[in-house]
Structure 1
Amino acid sequence: MTRIAVISAGLSVPSSTRLLADRLAEATVAAIQHPVEVDVVELRPLAHPLADHLLTGFPSGELAEAIETVRLADALIVVTPVFSASYSGLFKTFFDVLETDTLAGVPVLIAATAGTARHSLVLEHALRPLFSYLHAVVVPTGVFAASEDFGEAGLQTRIDRAAGELATLLGGAPRQRARTVEDEFADPTPFEDLLRGA
């Protein structure tokens, strides 16, 4: 079964960021022709655990579960509000604490919300470079929604296009997941075999 992780960095309740994330997830599920499991990760409740992780180097509780959800996902839908013409600090912090290559080869649909259309280039100057740096495969169409876009037909058209592109990427071969420390110790080579090979 295909697993999609939806990452929403909205801070208010209810949140336009979460609303956009839900609409993108619904459109993606509709575009995929096989069973899909969708897991939503809300970053707002993880703010304190994220700060603790930055200080200790170890995730715990709900944050560890969220990181595992992302690690096991076949694709991501990520949505952030725009703060100071870029993604939010909470959004960036979550992706900062992921292990190297967690997102390598993972299809990612990027999206953002803001109060004004003046921030629409955030997709190209902030989000796309971030996920390219993380070696993810970013779908061509990003979705930006200003406050006035909700309720407009053009937003749904962009949502459907981006969801279709993500569904197309998910039609390929399953991705190779990044190895974890647990994987490295799961099946160790006996020391005597290592000596024989020397």
Structure 2
Amino acid sequence: MSAVIVGNPKPESRTLDAALQVHKALTGTDATDIIDLATFGPGLLGWGDPQVADAVSRVQAADVVVVASPTFKATYSGLLKLFLDQFSTGDGMRDVVAVPLMLGAGPGHALAPDLLLKPVLVELGATTPAPGLYLRDSSYSDDGVLEAYAERWGDVIARVRRTEVAR
């Protein structure tokens, strides 16, 4: 099972499209679970919402997850933060291979996936074997960056994914 988590406050956003493309490029398959956080509403603001708890369980059962956000104020979205807060520290994403993905308007925040999102995923217990990926929201579908990333890191992610599944 695999998933994409999208923290864009706009449903069916370019962030979602990019996450689905990254997932397919890395795994060769479509994601089996799409978690578009914009559709969750106020359930993300507290604890115990059944829809949010179900999404957390589905992420925990996934072997690979692309975690995507637009770049807001030089970091990932508050919506994604609210969702990630639902996972326990240390083992909330144990055995999950995570790929941090962020989209932005220009190259100024290209390190944000590695500096800001990846450490949170690691803190939650995810395995992040590749660098985070930053894509320009205006050109991700045709600038070759996504394909080059998948060519360089796809086999690594696949090997780690098989190892995590075998545990």
Superposed pair shares fold, TM > 0.5: yes
Question: Contact 1:143/1:162 (CA < 8 Å) preserved in 2?
Answer: no
Deviation at 1:79? 0.6
Partner of 2:148: 157
Indicate the SS of the match to 2:32. strand
Q: 1:94 aligns with which of 83, 104, 110?
A: 83
Name the larger-Rg structure: 1
Cα RMSD, aligned residues only: 2.1
Partner of 1:9: 7
Work out the CA distance in 1 between the residues paired with 2:130 and 2:101. 11
Partner of 1:29: 27
Gaps of 5+ in 1: 177-198
Partner of 2:118: 128
Gaps of 5+ in 2: none
Distance 1:83 1:175, change over 3 A: farther
Between Structure 1 and Structure 2, how many residues are aligned? 165
Work out the CA distance in 2 between the residues paired with 1:50 and 1:102. 17
Deviation at 1:148? 4.1
Residue 85 (structure 1) aligned with residue 74 (structure 2): yes
Alignment TM-score, normalising by the size of structure 1: 0.74
Residue identity (%) = 24
Question: Contact 1:114/1:146 (CA < 8 Å) preserved in 2?
Answer: yes
Indicate the SS of the match to 1:87. coil
Work out the CA distance in 2 between the residues paired with 1:37 and 1:113. 19
Alignment TM-score, normalising by the size of structure 2: 0.87
Q: 1:137 aligns with which of 123, 127, 131?
A: 127
Distance 1:155 1:28, change over 3 A: closer
